[in-house]
Structure 1
């Protein structure tokens, strides 16, 4: 693997293009001094709605959400012609694995990033290079919060109402669960109301597992800042956590002296 410019493959769980991921990851990493090439693969590219329709499910079934092209659709934050739908998790997982393999064998990437923080069946996804799953980064951050204090930090989580019970059980199954006070806020109407509920509970940290929320071209500019203000605590998002994690894995290394006064080093 080259020690200079790295080639990162990013997988989205729907149709393309998803240029917000190309721009966000590329510009963020460049701002932090990394030199990267990014290739995107979209698991449903080449599949029509007719191909996908037999696999569409509701949220009561294990699923993976996807932004897909729907002729005539209006009002999606991706723009006209897009809808957010849900497809059977097993079906989607197989296509994610195929995308991993194509990025490695056809595109020659050095590492693969899943542009989602969804839960996949254990052991279902593998990579020969390096597979970066934001979900695991998020839970690792939660563990450092839990273990960083002798008291129980109050941690809030914004979740879909349809699987709030599942998400609560998932958090409570973690080895650090007894070291935090968990507050789960289901989205019963809007993200903002869920955030306000966490603010009322006076959480100290908040997690929202929506990868790329706020990045789509028609997301309100103030949408995520408004959530953070309503919570009144740091909001930990998977795309932010992941790009910062990525920077530690890339060359060239950060120049630490850039973050000291210009005359600090006397050599």
Structure 2
């Protein structure tokens, strides 16, 4: 066990995790501006060009270094060396809280392992911003973020989430939105309440509230632009016959029935589909790890 006292004087620098606006620049906090302007020697940015626009707006002249998924492992030793030499660092993503959809978590883990202080600043985050205005129960909720890119992996993930009672939060690209909503309609059921939150905090902010079937019908004929967040109601009528299976993934559930009952995979797939209220094809794909892509 280790206890971090964030603001006790040390000879090292501090890693600050600094949120940035998800659209509206007025959502930048006074504290975040002060940290970026006065407290850190370097800003580790997911996209230095994007962050420079923010820094220019608030007249912040602090040096940037790029820190993204393609160079994170080679950058981490350099950033740790700065911290160990007493220089504080801010890590920022393109929008919202760092570490959610960027490699910040690796830097945080490395700093903790090196006994260097890590301080998170509160600020804008799209998932919770969308959730509290969605009209769907805000708690409990499960934040998933971006689904896998492969269709078969998406289906397996959604099949495992289909029985969850928590409200589900997803991020999605506008280019994949149509197929994702169609897949959710197939696996979760068209009657499930859903909200698409688009362009949060920006001029064209929009909430589309309805059922998955209604959203699916709309996107069959319309396209949308901008950053998208999907909030999906939890399953208020879970169909699993045996709660002992609740923690099993779809593939593990099939394998469990095969071993327990001595049946074929075909028969086990039929049973799992019925127990979980899923289509047999969905269970079949999850069990066989099919690698179909869009």
**TM-score, with structure 2 as normaliser:** 0.25
**Which of the pair has more CA radius of gyration?**
2
**TM-score, with structure 1 as normaliser:** 0.27
- More strand by percentage: 1
- More helix by percentage: 2
